[in-house]
Amino acid sequence: MSEPLKADGPLLEAKGLWKSFRRAESTVDVLRGVDFRLESGSTASITGRSGSGKSTLLNILGGLDMPSSGQVLAEGRPLATDDRVARERWRARGVGFVFQFHFLLPDFTALENLLVPVRSLGPVAAADRQRALTFLDHMGLADRGHHLPGELSGGEQQRVAVARAFMNRPRVVLADEPFGNLDDEIGARLGDLLFALHRQENVGLVLVTHDQSLAARADCRWRLEDGLLVAAEGVRA
């Protein structure tokens, strides 16, 4: 893990991504040649109807899944099917994930949950604890660090999950309907916090959302339609 991540060129690029799911009876072509590009520190939103392939695409961009064909370049390096090391490195160091369901560890406090991604890379340093405490404070959760997830509200749990995604100083945060389960007002407030952290940490952000006003805040707006990414109206990039 000593090799630094490259900083020049696009942060994340996908070329001609194709993803087919084979079932006994049929094959579903979910992605049919998706091209995507995210510059360092910039933001993109992806909307699209349920089942259009948004999560599939995000998982491939984050190295959690592999395309049937096509290529993902993370900081210029291909995440090749046969290169598990490259994918795991990208997943662990390059990417922070926020999912619709928080996936916090139920027996760990909020603070401990924030330290999980750090612990996966090595011993936790005092600076890491301090960073976690700062994030909790930033999220308005300074007095909730010792609460278990079950002792937090849904919005508070998602705030911890958002902060966790930034803990490892990733190059990009991939957020998949992070506020889909929350009411609109709380979702909008969490959107503010997410965009604020993206700016503060200078981290790229790819946000899958059905919330058009949240999507509109991204530098680039995309819609996934018939297996292709098309520019959504109001693109500012």
Q: Is 212 in the site for ligand ATP (CB under 6 A)?
A: no
Sign of CA dihedral 128, 139, 218, 87: positive
Return d(Cα 63, Cα 98) in angstroms, integer.
Answer: 14
The CA R_g of the chain, rounded to the nearest whole Å, is 18
Stretch 134-173: interaction string toward ligand ATP, x if CB under 6 A: ----------------------------------------
| Min dist. Cβ of residue 56 to ligand ATP (A) | 3
- The answer to whether the beta carbons of residues 175 and 165 sit under 8 Å apart is yes
Q: Is 48 in the site for ligand ATP (CB under 6 A)?
A: yes
Among 42, 52, 55, 157, binds Mg ion (CB under 5 A): 55
| Min dist. Cβ of residue 174 to Mg ion (A) | 12
Cβ-based nearer residue to Mg ion, 58 or 114: 58
200: β partners? none
| Min dist. Cβ of residue 51 to ligand ATP (A) | 4
Counting residues that bind ligand ATP (by CB under 6 A) gives 11
H or E element: which one contains 141?
none
| Min dist. Cβ of residue 176 to ligand ATP (A) | 7
Cβ-based nearer residue to ligand ATP, 147 or 210: 210
Query: How would you class 61 by CB atoms within 10 Å of its CB: exposed for 0-12, middle for 13-18, buried for 19 or more?
Result: buried
Calculate the dihedral angle through the C-alpha atoms of 223, 154, 193, 202, rounding to the nearest 10 degrees: -70
Q: Is 230 in the site for ligand ATP (CB under 6 A)?
A: no
Cβ-based nearer residue to Mg ion, 55 or 168: 55
- Secondary structure E strands in 48-176: 69-74, 77-78, 95-98, 172-176
| Min dist. Cβ of residue 134 to ligand ATP (A) | 32
Residue identified by tokens 């959690």 is 64
Residue numbers at the binding site for Mg ion (CB under 5 A): 55
